[in-house]
A and B are shown apart, each in its own frame.
Chain A
């Protein structure tokens, strides 16, 4: 629920910032599909969380190191809004100036996605297909083999009652 509200707000923000493509995606995927999928997953899992005792020290160390590395790397980011940033000086300029002449397509995003960077988009389509195949492989396995989770669920019910 919170995720859906968050996604809808972000989608509105994107729309205000004139990023129609991203806003459309965020509203459809973030607010719509992922909410439905989270609900579908919630319908599959047992109702009560299994309590884990104690703390996982190695995991804490890994998380701290990763976080510190990310913060350290963020100091190297270009200054926000600087006109000399790589995003403004490299191919972006070529696209804004020549897309209409090259393609005759008013929507620059579509031209870059489908024509200039077509192989990337093909890779994305393959990734999406692979994700579907992965979910299919995981969830179409027979249920009977997963005895443990079934007994867990019954014991959960017992403890709840």
Chain B
């Protein structure tokens, strides 16, 4: 993409704000609207904007493909692990009450951790889908050029 000064300046200003808002939505999920899913999508949108401005290679230097694969699975695993932790601590699957002494604190901790898992998975899967489409374009171009 041709470097447009307006785009670069505005994006530099916006990307940290979007990421900060995503983190706010993520970790403030039990008080205000939003949660893991919304936060994940917002975070991924910030990364996609970054890729639009600086190119896919720079975007992949920020978060390599392997990290995307790993985090996508780890988010779901974190969710299941919290669920199993409830079983180990003497409750049922995905029962948050045994996690901590105070029942309210236990529920809040469980909700935050579980939502964090959802957020990580959603963010990385959206990045992955976008990355796949972008790389596919490069692959078809390369195949056409070699023909």
Contacts and interface: CB of A to CB of B under 8 A. Distances in A.
A37 B129 contact: yes
Interface residues of B, number: 57
A118 B76 CA distance: 13
Most interface-central of A28, A32, A124 (chain B CB within 10 A): A28
Given A40-B134, A103-B108, A33 B34 contact: no
B108 A129 contact: no
Tell me what chain B mostly uses at the interface: helix, strand, loop, or mixed.
Answer: helix
Tell me what chain A mostly uses at the interface: helix, strand, loop, or mixed.
Answer: helix
Interface string B92-132: 01101000000111011011001101100110111011101
Interface in A1-49: 20-21, 23-25, 28-29, 32-33, 36-37, 40-41, 43-44
A128 interface: yes
Contact of B45 (A28, A136, A139, A140): A28
A63 interface: no
Nearest to B37: A25
Interface residues of A, number: 47
B63 to A, nearest CB: 14
A68 interface: no
A40 B44 CA distance: 15
Interface in A112-141: 113-115, 118-119, 121-122, 124-126, 128-129, 131-132, 135-136, 139-140
Given A132-B72, A136-B132, A107 B79 contact: no
B32 A20 contact: yes
B104 A103 contact: yes
B42 interface: yes
26 contacts: A21-B33, A21-B35, A24-B33, A25-B41, A28-B42, A28-B45, A33-B126, A102-B103, A103-B111, A104-B103, A105-B111, A109-B35, A110-B30, A118-B83, A121-B79, A121-B114, A122-B94, A122-B114, A124-B118, A129-B72, A129-B121, A135-B129, A136-B132, A140-B135, A143-B136, A143-B142
